[in-house]
Amino acid sequence: MSSPEPGQGHGRRVLLVEDEEAVRMTLRYNLAAQGYVVSEASSGTAGLALARSRSPDLVVLDLMLPELSGEEVCRAIRQESDVPILMLTARGAESDKVTGLGLGADDYMTKPFGVKEFMARVAALLRRSERPPQAPPQGQLIRVGNFTADADSRRVMVDRQEVKMSPKEFSLLFFLLTHHGRVHSRDSLLRAVWGADFHGDSKTVAVHIRWIREKFEAFPSLPFRVNTVFGVGYRVDLAPGETLQP
Ligand code: CA
């Protein structure tokens, strides 16, 4: 990497959403010193607005925020992008709760934490997200019954109606469809869709599966089902008589 900025940040944009000013100042200072470009918000509402308008490379998101909670902000961002999210939580019950929720954040840190550890996690998340996506292969179209998924345009259509999907939702669905009829564990889906060195929680997969199902609830004629194989993982089954069309 050749970049004029000093440090590891190389001008990459980090959005800090944290209402505790002391924490925010410390993180901002250290990020800026490493060459990151930092924008800040002290409420969930302002944070979500900046996530949309600035398209940051990474979001650091506190859980307990005024107006919109970190949980709600995380969910809203995940519906729109795969920007890495580092969630900050307080010690104890709150951190147990958030990791259990499987919000779709990529990493979690419990306060108080050391700045060195924080900077290392930020750098690791950015490294990971800069790898090209593992799936799906380019230039492929899946057609089955009234359903199409186009890997070039990343559009999903059912009954000629577009179903909006986030990039990760699309990749996960595309992978399951191209390997339909087989059971895939959460870990194998993590590796296939998120990449070999994604070390996040495999609950991430369950969360994305739930979102995918919710999006298709309005289409009872969908020619496949995303099934849970209890204790093992997930499998896409085509409706009887359906095949993937060339
Ligand atoms: Ca807070």
Question: What is the DSSP code string of 171-235?
Answer: HHHHHHHHTTTS-EEHHHHIIIII-TT--S-THHHHHHHHHHHHHHTT-TT-SEEEEEETTTEEE
Domain boundaries defined on the chain: 13-130, 141-238
pLDDT of residue 97: 60
134 vs 55, higher pLDDT: 55
The whole-angstrom distance between residue 145's C-alpha and the CA centroid of its chain comes to 29
pLDDT of residue 33: 93
Identical fold at 13-130 and 141-238? Answer: no
Percentage of the chain lying above the pLDDT 90 cut = 45
Q: What is the mean pLDDT of residues 6-14?
A: 79
Return the ∠ at Cα 156 (arms to 127 and 76), rounded to 5°: 55
Q: Is the pLDDT of residue 133 over 50?
A: no
CATH fold of 13-130 = Rossmann fold (3.40.50)
Q: What is the mean pLDDT of residues 97-107?
A: 67
Q: What is the mean pLDDT of residues 118-137?
A: 73
Q: Is the pLDDT of residue 96 over 70?
A: no
Taking the centre of ligand 1 as the mean of its atom positions, its distance from the CA of residue 213, in whole angstroms, is 32
Q: What is the mean pLDDT of residues 2-31?
A: 84
135 vs 84, higher pLDDT: 84
Q: What's the rounded Cα separation, in Å, for the pair 184 and 192?
A: 10
Give the tens place of pLDDT for each residue, 86-95: 999 887 666 6
How do beta strands 155-158 and 161-162 pair? antiparallel
Taking the centre of ligand 1 as the mean of its atom positions, its distance from the CA of residue 20, in whole angstroms, is 6
Percentage of the chain lying above the pLDDT 70 cut = 86
Give the contacts of 173 (CB within 8 A, at least 6 positions apart).
149, 156, 165, 212, 226, 236
Taking the centre of ligand 1 as the mean of its atom positions, its distance from the CA of residue 89, in whole angstroms, is 8
Return the ∠ at Cα 239 (arms to 237 and 241), rounded to 5°: 120
Taking the centre of ligand 1 as the mean of its atom positions, its distance from the CA of residue 69, in whole angstroms, is 9
pLDDT of residue 5: 43
Q: Is the pLDDT of residue 140 over 90?
A: no
**pLDDT tier at 211, thresholds 50, 70, 90:** very high
Give the tens place of pLDDT for each residue, 181-193: 888 888 888 888 8
Tell me whether the omega of the peptide bond preceding residue 223 falls within 30 degrees of 0, making it cis: no
Give the contacts of 77 (CB within 8 A, at least 6 positions apart).
48, 51, 59, 83, 85
Q: What's the rounded Cα separation, in Å, for the pair 225 and 94?
A: 35
Q: What's the rounded Cα separation, in Å, for the pair 62 and 17?
A: 6
- pTM, two decimal places: 0.57
pLDDT of residue 118: 96
Q: Does the domain at residues 141-238 carry the CATH identifier 3.30.70.260?
A: no
Which candidate, 31, 34, 43, places its Cα nearest to that of 5? Answer: 34
Q: What is the rounded average pLDDT for all residues in the chain?
A: 85
Across the beta sheet with 233-238, the strand order is 184-185, 233-238, 224-229
Taking the centre of ligand 1 as the mean of its atom positions, its distance from the CA of residue 45, in whole angstroms, is 13
